[in-house]
Structure 1
Amino acid sequence: MSNNVEQQIKEAIERMRGFIQQDGGDIRYVKFEEGIVYVEMLGACQGCAALDTTLKDGVESILVEEIPGVIAVEQI
């Protein structure tokens, strides 16, 4: 894995954190393996009915669009 790709992922997640934190949640980068970014959702995100939408329509769509090599986002 390229450290550059991992750094790009971390920077993109950091930009998204403010929006997630506005609703009482948070997101933490865990790892990047075989094109998949693994994150941990914290705070109000845990058990939230909109979690799948936040992950797939929000976080995943941004990371896939912005960072070559990212194909999906999964929650740990």
Structure 2
Amino acid sequence: MKEEVQKYIDKIRPSLQADGGDVELVEVTEDGIVKVKLLGACSGCPMSTMTIKNGIERTLKENVDGVEEVQEV
């Protein structure tokens, strides 16, 4: 599952980079928790929760079987 998650994170990455940020995949647990680290302008941004939940998490849940949640670390 980690490879599939990474594939979709790589598709999301250009949108974040366009705003001066980035995302790094940290871990995918066996129970479907995806842990990511926001970098650059995304780190500490007031909209980071929306980016994770409405952007990254929604995309991964729609495209990768077994993803339950995305968490920022």
User: Which TM bucket (shorter chain)?
Assistant: over 0.9
- Indicate which of 55, 60, 64 corresponds to 2:57: 60
Partners of 2:15 and 2:61 lie apart in 1 by: 18
Match of 2:8 in 1: 12
Partners of 2:41 and 2:27 lie apart in 1 by: 22
Question: How much is the aligned-residue C-alpha RMSD, in angstroms?
Answer: 0.5
**Alignment TM-score, normalising by the size of structure 1:** 0.92
> Cα distance, 1:50 vs. partner?
0.6
Amino acid at match of 1:27: V
Gaps of 5+ in 1: none
Partners of 1:47 and 1:40 lie apart in 2 by: 11
Query: How many residues matched?
Result: 72
Gaps of 5+ in 2: none
2:33 counterpart of 1:36: yes
State the SS of the aligned residue for 2:28: strand
Structure 1, residues 24-68: CA drift from partner, whole Å, max 9, x if none?
Answer: 000000110111000010000111011011000000000011001
| Same amino acid, percent of matched pairs | 38
**Alignment TM-score, normalising by the size of structure 2:** 0.96
**Structure 1 consecutive aligned stretches of length 4 or more whose deviation exceeds 2 Å:** none
Amino acid at match of 2:12: M
Match of 1:69 in 2: 66
